[in-house]
Amino acid sequence: MNTARAVDQALHGRRLVVELFATGNLAFLALDVYIAHLANHLEHPSEWIPVVFSAAAPLPLLPGLLRRRLDGSWATVAGLVIGGLSILVGVTGLLLHLQSAFFVSRTLKNLVYTAPFIAPLSYAGVGLLLVLGRLERTDATAYSRWVTLLAAGGFFGNFGLTLADHAVNGFFHWTEWIGVFAAALASSVLLMVWRWPRDGAVLGAAAVAMVVQIAVGITGFWLHARSLPAGAWLRLEMLSHGAPPFAPLLFVDLAVLALVGLHGLAAAHDRAPLGARRAFGRSTS
C-alpha cells in the first residue's frame, strides 16, 4: 500500500512539473511568436492569434498550479480546453504557413524560404501535454512513455526547423550542422526509449543524449546572440532579422521535458523485479 501511494505521489508530482513546463512554454511563445512575426510587421491579422492566445492561455491554468492539483473540476476542464485550443492553433498555423508559398509552387526552395511551417506545431505539442495530464492519471510508466514520445516528436520537428533555417544560409558555417545532427540523435534515441522503456542501457544512453542537447542549445544560443548587431536586444524588431536567438533554446526545452519522462521510466525500472528488467522491449502501457 505504501509503495502504491508513493507511486501515485510521484506521478502527481511529475504531472505538475509537466504542467508547469507547458504553461511556461505557452507564455514564452507569446514573445517568441511576436518577434518572429515582426519580420512581416504582423501584416496579416491572423498573425496576432497565436500571440494573444499565448498571452491569455496560461491564466486559466494558474489556479491548478497554485493549488498543486490537476484533478479538480476547474483544472481538468481548463487543461482540456486550453490543450484543445492549443492543438487547433498549431495545426491552423501549420496550414497558414504552408499556404504562404508552398501550396502555390510546391518546391524545395519555397519550403525553405517561407514561413517555417513546422514552428506552429509547438502549440500542438504543448496542447497534447496538457491533454495527456488529464487523461493519463493512474499509470506512471505509461505517462512517462508518452512524455518521452512527445519530446521525441518535438526533436523531430526541431530537426526540420534547424535544417530549413540553416539551409537559408547555405550552411555557411560548419557549426550550423551541429543542431541538425543533434536533433536527429535526440529523436532517434527517444524513439528507442518508447520501444524499450524497461531497458536500463537505453534509458542511460537517452539521459546522456539529453545532456548533450542542453549543451548544444546553450552553445547555439551564444552563437546566435553573438551574430546579432549591436543594440539588437534593445529593439525587438532587430531580433526578427538574422539568426533567431531563442531558437536554439528549444534543444534545452525539449531535453528538460525528456528528462522528466526518463526519470519516471528509470524509477519504474528500479521498482520492477529483476526478471522484468531483463524483459527487453516488453510493453508497459
* Tens-digit pLDDT profile for residues 42-95: 778 888 999 999 999 999 999 989 988 888 889 999 999 999 999 999 999 888
Distance CA 183, CA 188 (A): 9
Examine the fold and report which residue of 138, 170, 200 is the final residue of a domain before the chain moves on.
138
Same domain, 237 and 208: yes
User: For the residues 199-220, what does the mean pLDDT come to?
Assistant: 95
Share of the chain above pLDDT 90, in %: 45
pTM, full prediction: 0.81
Q: Helical H runs in 113-235?
A: 121-135, 140-168, 176-195, 200-227
Same domain, 200 and 266: yes
Same domain, 148 and 126: no
Examine the fold and report which residue of 138, 165, 196 is the final residue of a domain before the chain moves on.
138
For the chain, what is the domain count? 2
Residue 172: how many CB atoms within 10 A of its CB? 9
Same domain, 112 and 150: no
Burial of residue 120 (number of CB atoms within 10 Å: 0-12, 13-18, 19+): buried
Same domain, 175 and 241: yes
Angle (CA) 15-259-138 rounded to 5° is 30
Range of the domain at 52: 1-138
Here the cell at position 41 is 510587421
Examine the fold and report which residue of 82, 105, 138 is the final residue of a domain before the chain moves on.
138
At 167, which amino acid appears? A
Three-state DSSP class for residue 217: helix
Same domain, 125 and 158: no
- DSSP secondary structure string for all residues of 112-133: HSSS-TTTTHHHHHHHHHHHHH
Same domain, 87 and 164: no
Distance CA 171, CA 179 (A): 11
What is the length of the chain? 285
Looking at per-residue pLDDT, the higher value among 278 and 147 belongs to 147
Same domain, 51 and 161: no
What is the per-residue pLDDT for 3? 61
